[in-house]
């Protein structure tokens, strides 16, 4: 029987980075970055890549960004609709199901339903999508911080530019204000007198991590600080 490739079976890249992120609930996207059915985008953890997708019914999913035929990376950046593997053309829906498979003749028999994309556990906390490598993982986020982030759901947010800095430095809060707190593996919550900023860290082993930000209810002074990158 042919079995799907499992790209998460072991840690093989940067062990410190992957150990930190893949053993915890990690923030993988802001909900507003997937506004419509069949929207999808990639989230990277070092050399690992995941697809965050909204299916036709509006449900959010997170998958390993690897074709279950031979493990080829399926997509890059942001996009919409079905995912077609660039190697042999297998097609997957935004719900992870295998919709079409070519080159069956050289393979042992398999059931299409067993060849869906490898799925992670998913939970939405306010405006943030979290995922965990273990599909059965319980949501064990800090209750106080979680409640604070949940209350931001539905609140209009300002978007800020992406910055590139070390993920270790960011998560330790070096150079930031005293209200710096981290939820799960990588969601930084910073409180200011006039509002809150969330920073979602997509870590890279080299060249600086990508940080996506949302700001809620912040005044002019805080906005000026962000634009200066502080």
Q: Please state, in angstroms and rounded to a whole number, the distance separating the CA atoms of residues 17 and 49.
A: 13
Count the residues in the chain.
Answer: 230
88 binds ligand FES (CB under 6 A): yes
- Smaller CB separation from ligand FES, 87 or 110: 87
- Smaller CB separation from ligand FES, 98 or 129: 98
104 binds ligand FES (CB under 6 A): no
161 binds ligand FES (CB under 6 A): no
Q: For ligand FES, which stretch binds (CB under 6 A), given 83-91, 109-117, 134-142, 164-172?
A: 83-91
Q: Of 69, 118, 133, 197, which lies in the binding site for ligand FES, with binding defined by CB under 6 A? A: 69
70 binds ligand FES (CB under 6 A): yes
Q: Of 90, 92, 160, 167, which lies in the binding site for ligand FES, with binding defined by CB under 6 A? A: 90
- Smaller CB separation from ligand FES, 89 or 135: 89
- 143 phi and psi angles, rounded to 5 deg: -60, -40
197 contacts 37 by C-beta, under 8 angstroms: no
Number of residues that bind ligand FES (CB under 6 A): 9
Q: For ligand FES, which stretch binds (CB under 6 A), given 25-33, 46-54, 63-71, 92-100?
A: 63-71
Q: Of 8, 87, 145, 205, which lies in the binding site for ligand FES, with binding defined by CB under 6 A? A: 87
- Smaller CB separation from ligand FES, 67 or 149: 67
Distances (CA, A) of 177 to 81, 189, 195, 224: 41, 11, 13, 15
The string of DSSP codes covering 22-73 is: HTS-EEEEEGGGS-STTEEEEEEETTEEEEEEE-TTS-EEEEESS-TTT---
Best CA proximity match to 85, nearest among 44, 45, 76: 76
| Helix boundaries (H) for the chain | 15-22, 143-150, 167-172, 220-227
Sign of the alpha-carbon dihedral angle for 164, 167, 173, 174: negative
67 binds ligand FES (CB under 6 A): yes
Tokens found for residue 47: 């050399």
Binding positions for ligand FES, rule: CB under 6 A: 67, 69-70, 72, 85, 87-90
């Amino acid at each position: 029987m042919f079995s799907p490739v499992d790209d998460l079976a072991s840690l093989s890249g940067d062990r410190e980075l992957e150990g930190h992120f893949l053993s915890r609930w990690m923030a993988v996207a802001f909900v507003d970055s997937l506004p419509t059915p069949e929207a999808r985008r990639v989230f990277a953890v070092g050399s690992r890549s995941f697809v965050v997708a909204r299916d036709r019914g509006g449900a959010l999913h997170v998958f390993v960004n690897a074709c279950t035929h031979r493990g080829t990376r399926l997509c890059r950046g942001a996009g919409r609709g079905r995912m077609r593997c660039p190697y042999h053309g297998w097609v997957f829906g935004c719900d992870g199901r295998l919709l079409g498979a070519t080159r069956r003749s050289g393979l042992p028999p398999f059931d299409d339903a067993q060849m869906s994309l490898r799925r992670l556990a998913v939970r939405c906390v306010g405006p943030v999508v979290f995922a965990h490598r273990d599909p059965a993982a319980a949501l064990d986020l800090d209750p106080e911080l979680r409640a604070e982030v949940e209350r931001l759901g539905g609140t209009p947010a300002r978007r800020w530019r992406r910055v590139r800095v070390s993920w270790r430095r960011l998560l330790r809060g070096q150079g930031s204000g005293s209200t710096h707190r981290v939820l799960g593996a990588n969601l930084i919550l910073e409180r200011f007198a006039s509002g809150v900023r969330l920073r979602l860290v997509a870590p890279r082993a080299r060249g600086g991590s990508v940080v996506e930000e949302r700001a809620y209810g912040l005044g002019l002074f805080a906005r000026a600080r962000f634009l200066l990158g502080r």
